[in-house]
Amino acid sequence: MMEAALFFVVAILVAAGVSIFWYRRSLEQQDKPDQYIYIEGLKALLRGQDEQAFTKLKDTVLVDTNNIDAYIQLGNIFRRRKKHDQALKVHKDLTHRGGLAAEEKREILIALYKDYLALDDEKTAVKAVKEILAINSGDKFALDVSLHWLEKQEEWKEAAKLRRQLDKTERTESIKTLALYKTFEGQQLFDQGDPHRARLFFKEAIHIDKNCLAAYVAIGDSYFKEKRLDDALRYWTKVIALKPAEGQAVFERLKKGFFEVGRYGDYAEALSTLLQGCPEHLTARLELAYFMEKKGDKDSAREHYVMAQDNHPDSLMVKLGLFRLNRESSRREAADNMFKQIMKMVVKKEATNFRCRECDLISERKVWLCPRCKAVDSYNIVKS
């Protein structure tokens, strides 16, 4: 009798154990499909298959409402579909949830920042970034965005503080950028009609970075504003000495200044000095050739045009200069040959231009702050 009772108890325990095992197994099997669908959705995102990803992620949140990342990704897909209001709603709703981890809050705020930008609401976008900094004052993404915002608002003093903070985080030293910020601070004073105070900022910029060309140009401009031509010319000439390849930043200034005081030869000397350090500089060579041509020294002019042609055989301006000289010197055959070469070329404006690498705005002169997107030191030389 006892053996039968014991056998019955053991049988019940075994049955209970088996039931528990299969119950847990069924729960695991219920969880696995949700995770599997979510992972498949992420894989689709990586492949750029937004439609498939959207379906998978939507199925994920239907059965797992706590998957914050799935919601974030769904909102991001809405934004990419240009459904900005829907993206904003998805991401904004997440901010009302309790118990969010710091990293989850950060990702939600980054998504909101992008939503507001897509809606052209930059001020609210910046507020989202400030909330990220409230969570972590050293957040690299938020600091970079804040710096760009300050640059766009031309708040150079605050931008310099933030740049130094980033330098500590990144263990870098942005001397060139900090010098430009100081130059831009001075430029604001210059534009307000105070060249003397502005010059103090420009000189401080040179103290930060002795190779800050923008500051040398600006100091020359400030002296020129005060009718101190000799001082202006001295600083503009320093640009050529520092970086001959970027001498075109002051060509027009030097020409105007030297010609105003009747020092025509000094202008030619400045160009010659530049060409000694950078003999292939096309603009300087053309300027000097044209100067000699106007002076009546046709032989020297021809020499410079020929040297320019050796370094820049496809230059239309060089060919036009040689054509003009040959025609005026009654070298008919040489002039006709040069004219034929010109006619074979595509007629276009010959100049050294500069393009902003951020927004592609073209400028005919070197600038250190993009007037369109406010990017700092973003212009590179492009040849037309």
- How would you classify residue 99: left for phi > 0, otherwise alpha for psi between -120 and 50, otherwise beta? left
Is 9's pLDDT higher than 90?
no
- Who has greater pLDDT, 21 or 334? 334
Sign of CA dihedral 6, 12, 16, 17: positive
Predicted local confidence at residue 189, as pLDDT: 97
Asked whether 136 and 169 are in contact (CB, 8 A), the reply is no
Spatial separation of the C-alpha atoms in residues 375 and 150, rounded to whole Å: 11
Compute CA 45 distance to the chain's CA centroid, rounded to the nearest angstrom. Answer: 27
| Assigned architecture for domain 21-140 | Alpha Horseshoe (1.25)
Is 8's pLDDT higher than 60?
no
Q: For all residues of the chain together, what is the average pLDDT?
A: 87
Please list the residues that pair with 352 across neighbouring strands: 383
Torsion of CA 187, 189, 194, 197, to 10 degrees: -90
Is 280's pLDDT higher than 80?
yes
Sign of CA dihedral 47, 52, 56, 62: positive
Predicted local confidence at residue 344, as pLDDT: 67
- Who has greater pLDDT, 197 or 264? 197
Spatial separation of the C-alpha atoms in residues 77 and 52, rounded to whole Å: 11
Predicted local confidence at residue 382, as pLDDT: 78
Give me the mean pLDDT over the 139-146 stretch. 94
- Who has greater pLDDT, 384 or 283? 283
Sign of CA dihedral 274, 280, 284, 286: positive
Give me the mean pLDDT over the 314-323 stretch. 83
Order the strands of the 379-383 sheet from edge to edge: 362-363, 352-356, 379-383
Looking at the chain, the whole-number percentage of residues with pLDDT higher than 70 is 87
Residue that the structure tokens 């970079």 belong to: 144
Helix (H, G, I), strand (E, B) or coil at 379: strand
The pTM score is 0.75
Contacts of 115 (CB under 8 A, 6+ apart): 75, 79, 84, 87, 88, 91
Nearest to 238 by CA among 197, 208, 275, 274: 274
Nearest to 198 by CA among 210, 209, 184: 184
Asked whether 159 and 181 are in contact (CB, 8 A), the reply is yes
Asked whether 207 and 219 are in contact (CB, 8 A), the reply is no
Residue 248: pLDDT band (50, 70, 90) is confident
Is 19's pLDDT higher than 60?
no
- Measured in degrees and rounded to the nearest 5, phi and psi for residue 352 equal -95, 115
Spatial separation of the C-alpha atoms in residues 335 and 322, rounded to whole Å: 8
